[in-house]
Amino acid sequence: MKKIIFYNLLLLVLSLILIELILGNWIFGPKFSSLIIKRNITKVWNPNHYESDHAAMYKKDEFGFRGNYKNISDVKIITVGGSTTDERWIDENLTWSHLFQKKLENSYTNFKVANAGTMGQSTIGHLKNFEIWFNQIPNLNPEYFIYYIGINDSILLLKALDKYKDKRNYNDADTLVSEKLFERQSRYLKNNSIFYKMFKLIDGYFTARKYGAIHFTTTWQSKKEFQSIKINPQNKVAVQFLTNYKKRLEKIKKKTNKYNSIAILVTQKVHKDHFLSNALNIINTETKNFCISSKVICFPLDEVIDFDFEKDFYDGIHTRPSGNKKIAEYLFYEIKKKIEKK
């Protein structure tokens, strides 16, 4: 009897190992290794960054994207950026990437958008995306990569000048791999295990069922970080930083072209008295000058959109749904002209 139980347990364990090896990503499928990008997750919570009469949902699919598409081959646009693109605290249907897609679909059939925003990521991380993330996704062939850039690089500029005192470490967002060994090992298991994937999918299903059944309304009290930091762009350290920044933009252009895709650089905007304002203006100027010299498409959002910072932002950097609507409308207006020229 004991032998029967033992052999049955052994058979069960061996079967589970075989299932894991075949259906997981250990042998077949994309090799996400220790990539920190969250995948197959669904979270629902009370939105406290904007007024709402329902719960907010945040979802990432098996590729680590936010978006509403059936097949990855249907994706025509990848939006790339930091937390202002990822929009972790904004509902799925209210991010600027989703609102942008809705406007596109009103004019063009099956023009899907995938949101590859990663909190804290700068252009350093955008380059890394191509090396260890995007290259692992089969049939990824968008027509456009839209890079919503500026804020996180302006933070790096302030750090280079020793003018940024925030001690939080966002290096993982740019390397896409944790500096901590245990976290790398944990992420490696999660990225490859079929059983972990099944658990997250089931958990996400039951979480999603609650969506819309709970109603919340919270008024966000805005926090202002209005302590403008002045920068001399002729400073030796600043000059070197901006030289490296332009080199990164050139590499991003080349990486995008390898996908037979078109790169579009979109500048960002903060309140004129925000502590990042001066640094961001310098970064935006470099971005626009690069676009002119390298013949890259640039949408100068900072010059065009007239935000109401009290209504459209919840912290001076991140937009509420009302701000997202303005971003989506502007991007649609600009890209429509590019599409119709083709």
pLDDT at 7: 57
Residue 100 has pLDDT above 80, yes or no: yes
Q: H-type helices in 117-160, by residue range?
A: 123-132, 151-160
Average pLDDT, the chain: 81
Residue 97 has pLDDT above 70, yes or no: yes
339 compared with 284, residue with greater pLDDT: 284
pLDDT at 218: 37
pLDDT at 19: 53
The CA distance from 18 to 37, in Å, is 26
Least confident of 61-65, 154-158, 194-198, 239-243: 194-198
pLDDT at 187: 55
Closest CA to 41 of 201, 206, 211, 212: 201
pLDDT at 6: 63
Residue 34 has pLDDT above 80, yes or no: no
91 compared with 176, residue with greater pLDDT: 91
Q: How far is CA 63 from the centre of its chain?
A: 12
pLDDT at 211: 34
Mean pLDDT score, 5-30: 59
Strand partners, 297: 264
Q: For tokens 């894991």, what's the residue?
A: 20
Residue 310's contacts (CB-CB under 8 Å, 6 or more residues apart) are: 222
First to last CA, the chain: 74
pLDDT at 166: 58
pLDDT at 212: 32
Collapsing DSSP to helix, strand or coil, 66 comes out as strand
The conformation of residue 44, written as its DSSP 8-state character, comes to E
The CA distance from 39 to 154, in Å, is 28
Query: pTM of the full predicted structure?
Result: 0.80
The CA distance from 306 to 259, in Å, is 34
Residue 39 has pLDDT above 80, yes or no: yes
Mean pLDDT score, 258-270: 96
Residue 219 has pLDDT above 90, yes or no: no
Task: Please calculate the CA angle 61-331-279 and round it to the nearest 5 degrees.
Answer: 90
Confidence band (pLDDT; 50, 70, 90) for 162? confident
The conformation of residue 148, written as its DSSP 8-state character, comes to E
181 compared with 1, residue with greater pLDDT: 1
Residue 101 has pLDDT above 80, yes or no: yes
69 compared with 48, residue with greater pLDDT: 69
Tell me which amino acid residue 5 is: I
Q: Per the structure block, which two tokens stand in for 100?
A: 């942008």
